[in-house]
Amino acid sequence: MEKETVINWFQQLQDNICTALENADGKATFQEDKWEREGGGGGHSRVIDGGNVIEKGGVNFSAVYGKTPEKISKKLNVPEGNFLATGVSIVLHPENPLVPIIHMNVRYFEMEGNNGEKTNWFGGGIDLTPHYVVDEDAKYFHTQLKNACDKHDAEYYPKFKHWADEYFYIKHRKETRGIGGIFFDRLTADENHSIEDRFAFVQDVGNTFAPIYTYFMNKNKVLPFTDQHKNWQMLRRGRYVEFNLVWDKGTKFGLDTDGRTESILMSLPPVANWKYNHQPETGSEERATLEKLKKGVDWLNV
């Protein structure tokens, strides 16, 4: 498998998703910022804001390479050498609190050590963070992900769904970031899957993004909301910030490899809030959502 093929596909994925989101939003368009990494490579950061549906979002492509930073070699337990990391990363924050936040990252990592040893793998994930959990929407989301997984391996969805529950967990709050999704890392060739098989799976995951999120945009953008809904949205965005800055490995990897700070932190919402010891009222929509932010929920059968 040629690395140029992977890089080109990720670039095309960025184009396709941006076009779909602009069409669904109907107002805002993406602004592109091309950048170069001093150590090698670069990327295209595309940001959208002030839309009919999307208040702020980013769809970023990058392909960076060069000498592997020492802290990355140690963290990944790989020998020193040269690396290539490429992929697409997306976070969208909607204006309407009844439209969910969504995140996706699909990526490829390749390394050749100074000792001649080579390794490569795919990783990624997609997860949904509703400000208000709606069972019907959660079931739809997880069904689409299961369908994409089942095309390649029946064990993918339960394994990667569990991985997402564990990964997208705000440990210091003891709550999940949202309703999870799938998460996977270091998918390399093994006795059952070639590296081309892994790539085909990642392509299907990437291609599910636009249909899934434009479905939620079109379905929920017209729903009326109140000041109470907006206040809760600001608090849930605060939780999102906490996870991304404290726990997210992608954020740490980008900063550790001297990536572009503006692109790495584009995942943060435009406005968020923290209220001391906020406790939703018993019986409220907010309390109902908080009680569902747990690991291990079978969203396919809610």
Rg (CA), the chain: 19
Task: Find tokens 């899957």 and name the residue.
Answer: 193
> Distance (Å, rounded) from C-alpha 86 to C-alpha 72?
15
Token pair for residue 104? 């996706």
Catalytic (active site) residue 103: yes
147 vs 142: CA distance, rounded Å: 9
- H/E/C letters for each residue in 194-230? CHHHHHHHHHHHHHHHHHHHHHHHHHHCCCCCCHHHH
Pairing type for strands 81-94 and 101-113 reads antiparallel
Query: Which residue among 103, 131, 162, 193 is the active-site one?
Result: 103
Within 101-155, residue ranges assigned H as helices are 135-150
CA distance 53 to 214: 10
- Range list of β-strands (E), 248-294: none
Nearest C-alpha neighbor of 178 from the set 55, 60, 25, 289: 289
Question: Is residue 100 within 8 Å of residue 214, measured between CB atoms?
Answer: no
Structural contact between residues 129 and 240, judged by C-beta atoms closer than 8 angstroms: yes
What is the spatial distance between Cα 172 and Cα 1, in angstroms, rounded to a whole number? Answer: 41
What is the biggest distance separating any 2 CA atoms in the chain, rounded to whole angstroms?
A: 62
Q: Token digits for 116? A: 């001649």
CB 53 within 8 A of CB 75: no
Catalytic residues: 103
